[in-house]
Amino acid sequence: MKIKKGDTVVVTVGKDRGKRGRVLRVSPREGRVFVEGAAQRVRHRRPRRSGEKGQRVTMPGPIAIGNVRIVCSACGKAARVGFHMGEGGKQRICKKCGVAIA
Is the Cβ of residue 13 or residue 75 nearer to Zn ion in the bound state? 75
Question: In the bound complex, what is the minimum distance in angstroms from residue 75's beta carbon to Zn ion?
Answer: 3
Is the Cβ of residue 35 or residue 94 nearer to Zn ion in the bound state? 94
Give residues in contact with Zn ion (CB under 5 A). 72, 74-75, 94, 96-97
Is the Cβ of residue 57 or residue 75 nearer to Zn ion in the bound state? 75
C-alpha closest to that of 38 among 74, 73, 77, 71: 71
Question: In the bound complex, what is the minimum distance in angstroms from residue 101's beta carbon to Zn ion?
Answer: 8
Angle at 75 between CA 70 and CA 81, to 5 degrees: 35
Question: In the bound complex, what is the minimum distance in angstroms from residue 74's beta carbon to Zn ion?
Answer: 5
Q: Could you give phi then psi for residue 8, rounded to 5 degrees?
A: -95, 130
